[in-house]
Structure 1
Amino acid sequence: MSEPTLAGRIARFARVGANLGGFAASAAVARAGGRAFRDAENARELRRILGELKGPVMKLAQILGNIPDAIPPEFARELSTLQADAPPMGPGFVRRRMAAELGPDWTSHFAEFPLEAAAAASLGQVHRARLHSGETVAVKLQYPDMASAVEADLGQLDLLLALFRRVDRSIDPSEIRDELARRLREELDYAREARHVRLYRAMLEGVAEVRVPVVHDRLSTARLLTMKWLSGRRLLDFRDHPLGVRNRIAEALFTAWYKPFYQLGVIHGDPHLGNYTVAEADGDRAVINLLDFGCVRVFPPAFLEGVNELYRAIEAQDEDRAFHAFGLWGFRGLNRELMRILLVWAKFLYGPLLDDRVRPIDENARPGEYGRATAARVHAELKKTGTVRIPAEFVFMDRAAIGLGGVFIQLGAELNWSRMFRGLIEGFSVAALAARQQAALAAAGLA
Structure 2
Amino acid sequence: MSDIPKRAFSRTAKLASLPLSFAGRATLGVGKRLTGLADEIIGEKTQQRTAEQLFSVLGQLKGGAMKIGQALSIFEAALPETVAGPYREALTKLQNSAPPMPVAAVHRVMEAELGPEWRTYFEEFSEEPAAAASIGQVHRATWHDGREVAVKIQYPGAGDALRSDLKQLSRFAPLFKIMQPGFDIRGLIGELSERLMEELDYGLEAEAQSQFAHVYDGNAEILVPQVITHTERMIVTEWVSGTPLATIISEGTPQQRDRAGYLLTTLHFSAPALAGMLHSDPHPGNFQISDDDRLIVYDFGAVARLPEGMPRPVGELTRLTLEGDADAVIAGLRREGFIPEDLEIDGQAILDYLLPMLEPLQDREFQFSRQWLRQESMRLTHASSEAAQLGRKLSLPPSYLLIHRVTMGSIGVLCQLGAQANWHSIMEEWLPGFSVQEEPDS
Question: Of residues 10, 15, 28 in structure 1, which corresponds to 2:10?
Answer: 15
Which of 48, 63, 67 aligns to 2:71? It is: 63
Q: Distance in 1 between matches of 2:19 and 2:263?
A: 44
The 10-residue stretch of structure 1 (391-400 or 29-38) with the greater mean CA deviation from structure 2: 29-38
Answer yes or no: is 1:50 the counterpart of 2:62. no
The 1:145–1:54 alpha-carbon spacing in structure 2 relative to 1, beyond 3 Å, is: closer
After TM superposition, the structure 1 = structure 2 runs for residues 28-427 of structure 1, keeping only pairs within 5 Å, are 38=33, 40=42, 41=46, 44=51, 45-63=53-71, 66=74, 81=91, 83-84=94-95, 85-161=97-173, 170-217=182-229, 220-238=230-248, 243-244=254-255, 246-262=257-273, 265-281=276-292, 286-299=293-306, 301=308, 304-327=311-334, 330-331=337-338, 333=340, 335-336=343-344, 346-355=354-363, 357-360=364-367, 362=368, 365-366=369-370, 371-380=373-382, 381=385, 384=389, 386=392, 389-425=395-431, 426=435
Gaps of 5+ in 1: 1-6, 69-73, 433-447
Once residues 55 and 264 of structure 1 are traced to their aligned partners in structure 2, the CA distance between those partners, rounded to angstroms, is: 27
Cα 1:127–1:262 shift into 2, 3 Å? same
Inter-partner Cα distance in structure 2 for 1:339 and 1:23: 43
Cα 1:95–1:265, aligned 2, differ >3 Å: closer, same or farther? closer
Alpha-carbon distance change, 78 to 12 in structure 1, aligned in 2, over 3 angstroms = farther
Distance 2:238 2:357 in 1: 35
- Supply the distance in 2 between the matched residues of 1:139 and 1:266 (Cα, whole angstroms): 24
The SS at the match of 1:231 is coil
Q: Which amino acid aligns with 2:321?
A: I
Deviation at 1:378, TM superposition (A): 1.1
Q: Secondary structure at the match of 2:214?
A: helix
8 Å CA contact 2:19–2:171 kept in 1: the answer is no
Residues of 2 paired with 1:342 and 1:67: CA distance? 25
Distance 1:308 1:109 in 2: 47
TM-score in terms of structure 1 length? 0.77
Q: 1:127 Cα shift?
A: 0.3
Q: Deviations over 1:228-279 (max 9, x none)?
A: 1113222355566665555444433332222123566521111222212222
Aligned-pair CA distance for 1:46 = 3.8
Question: Structure 2: how far apart are the matches of 1:152 and 1:306?
Answer: 38
Q: Secondary structure at the match of 1:149?
A: helix
1:199 is paired with a residue of what secondary structure? helix
In structure 2, stretches of 5+ residues that fail to align are: 35-41, 77-82
Partners of 1:176 and 1:390 within 8 A in 2: no
Q: Do the aligned partners of 1:12 and 1:149 also contact (CA within 8 Å) in 2?
A: no
Q: Give the CA deviation at 1:142.
A: 0.6
Work out the CA distance in 1 between the residues paired with 2:362 and 2:142: 48
Deviation of 1:81 (Å)? 2.6
Partners of 1:125 and 1:141 within 8 A in 2: yes
**C-alpha spacing 1:29/1:138, structure 2 compared with 1 (3 Å):** closer
**Cα distance 1:15–1:338, how it changes in 2: closer, same or farther (>3 A)?**
farther
Does the 8 A contact of 1:267 with 1:296 survive in 2?
yes
Q: 1:403/1:172 Cα in 2 relative to 1: closer, same or farther (>3 Å)?
A: closer
Distance in 2 (CA, whole Å) between partners of 1:245 and 1:35 is: 38
SS of the aligned residue for 1:116 comes to strand
Tell me the SS of whatever aligns to 1:118. Answer: strand
Contact 2:272 2:307 in 1 (8 A): no
Residue-by-residue CA offset, 1:161-191 (whole Å, 9 max, x unaligned): 278779x983332211111011111111111
CA distance in structure 1 between the partners assigned to 2:252 and 2:73 by the alignment:
30
Please say if residues 128 and 137 of structure 1, whose CA atoms lie closer than 8 Å, have aligned partners that are also in contact: yes
How far off its partner does 1:329 sit? 5.1
Q: CA deviation at 1:359?
A: 3.2
In the alignment of these two chains, the number of paired residues is 409
Query: Secondary structure of 2:290's match?
Result: strand
